[in-house]
Structure 1
Amino acid sequence: MTDPAFKPALLVVDMQEDFCPPNGSLAVAEGRDITPLINTLLALPSSTLPLKIATKDWHPPNHISFARNHGPQKQPFTDTTTITNPLNPTEQYTTRLWPAHCIQDTAGAALIPELDTTHLTHTITKGTDPRLEMYSAFYAPLANPRVSDSGLAALLRGAGTTHVYVVGLAADYCVRRTAEDAAREGFAAVVVEEATRAVEPAGWAACKAEMEAAGVRVVGWEGEEVRRLFRSGE
């Protein structure tokens, strides 16, 4: 039976070649292994999940998050850089530097072929501004004023979405920031734990606690929140 108070959407975050073994430049361990669960969610009927949205990092070659763009002395994973709001020089944040990844129109930026893209309703690109890091599929972490808004919040609201289910890569970066921004935007934000993987698995427990403190529910595949998806629309 359809529940009019439950209008979920699925966000499949960054299931791209560069984030997956064996050849990704920023491969997340076991990143490909979550695809069957994601495909199971994607196969749910449109009456259950009217919005099935994939996100893609879509970086220009000169993106600020690439260590190589800061000189040979800067190393990925260990070094950082400061990012300034291009519309407000007093607003800044520090971000980690990474290997070059998901460069526009390269094989590494493609969604992995195992992902069943036939059910996707939308694909959103992010990280397209070379000046800004953008883990979240909603916008960059700059608020005064907001910059690099992808339009995702408006898309979800336009469909009457109440719950946002977030899966994909990586749990401790883009999945986390996307889910936290979904909660910030007023949606019930749910991360399906078995359908994501972390860059740093050892820190996942602490990361999960911080997400939950920010209003995100991190749930199991066999839990009530996921079962609700399969029941809705029956």
Structure 2
Amino acid sequence: MLSGLLMIVDMQNDFVTKNGSLYFPQAEKVKPVVIDIVKDRMKREYDLIFTKDWHDPNDLEFKRFPVHCIKETYGAEIFDDLKFIIRDYSKINFVMKKRFSAFYGTNFDDILKNLSPKHVEICGVDTNICVMYTVEELKNRDYDVVIYENGVASYDEKLHEFAISQMRDVLGAKIEKWRSFNAQH
């Protein structure tokens, strides 16, 4: 059965919680938006896919970025408010990834083939890294992609804007503003 799918990219403590190793203040603006999107899509019985950076302690990525999201640590977990909201929802898959794209070295392709979504909606962090590189591969597989611009963020506003323009103008993803759950009903 064709259905909608919401993908929540890397909303993990090391990125979006104060004192996280790669925390950035702009994450505070997207956390409530992501929560609102997730609540709405759960009410509509969407499938949810959460990506998680999931690194070994000696990952090669740490030559470019500070150590972050070591598997099985607090920093690698979904931030607490969101984790609480999804705790009893059954239509969830987690994709543990070691690189920017959710496809690289994961079972994400198989999950998508199994779920057969008619479109993929995206929110999360970082716009110019894991969001953009996953959107690129979704579009190369001919998925319709909607990105909620106010539900994604980056540590750098110029890179955020660049990534939004690349995903819209080059990759052909649809960019929308999320309207509050309460405003929709």
The alignment partner of 1:158 has SS state of helix
Unaligned segments of structure 2, at least 5 residues: none
Q: TM-score, normalised by structure 1?
A: 0.69
Residue 174 (structure 2) pairs with residue 217 (structure 1): yes
1:57 deviates by 0.5
1 CA distance for matches of 2:114 and 2:149? Answer: 27
Residue 9 (structure 2) pairs with residue 13 (structure 1): yes
Partner residue in 2 for 1:99? 66
Residue 133 (structure 2) pairs with residue 177 (structure 1): yes
1:50–1:59 distance in 2 versus 1, CA, 3 Å: same
Counting only pairs closer than 5 Å after superposition, residues 118-197 of structure 1 correspond to structure 2 as 118=87, 119=89, 121-127=92-98, 134-139=99-104, 148=105, 150-197=106-153
Residue 82 (structure 2) pairs with residue 117 (structure 1): no
Choose 1 or 2 for highest CA Rg. 1
Higher mean Cα deviation, 32-41 or 157-166?
A: 32-41
The alignment partner of 1:111 has SS state of coil
1:58 paired residue among 54, 58, 66? 54
2 CA distance for matches of 1:51 and 1:122? Answer: 8
Contact 1:166 1:189 in 2 (8 A): yes
Partner residue in 2 for 1:145? none
Contact 2:6 2:41 in 1 (8 A): no
CA-to-partner distance for each residue in 1:70-113, whole Å, 9 max, x for gaps? Answer: xxxxxxxxxxxxxxxxxxxxxxxxxxx10000011222111110
1 CA distance for matches of 2:154 and 2:116? Answer: 30
1:179 deviates by 1.5
2:35 paired residue among 26, 39, 45? 39
1:47–1:34 distance in 2 versus 1, CA, 3 Å: closer
Letter in 1 for 2:100: Y
Contact 2:122 2:147 in 1 (8 A): yes
1:170–1:177 distance in 2 versus 1, CA, 3 Å: same
Q: TM-score, normalised by structure 2?
A: 0.86
Higher mean Cα deviation, 36-45 or 14-23?
A: 36-45
1:34 deviates by 1.7
1:40 deviates by 2.2
- May I ask how many residue pairs the two structures share in their alignment? 178
1:199–1:55 distance in 2 versus 1, CA, 3 Å: same
Residue 180 (structure 2) pairs with residue 205 (structure 1): no
1:63 deviates by 0.3
The alignment partner of 1:65 has SS state of helix
Structure 1 segments (4+ residues) deviating >4 Å: none
- Structure number having the greater helix percentage: 2
Letter in 2 for 1:117: I
1 CA distance for matches of 2:15 and 2:35? Answer: 17
Root mean square deviation of aligned Cα? 2.3
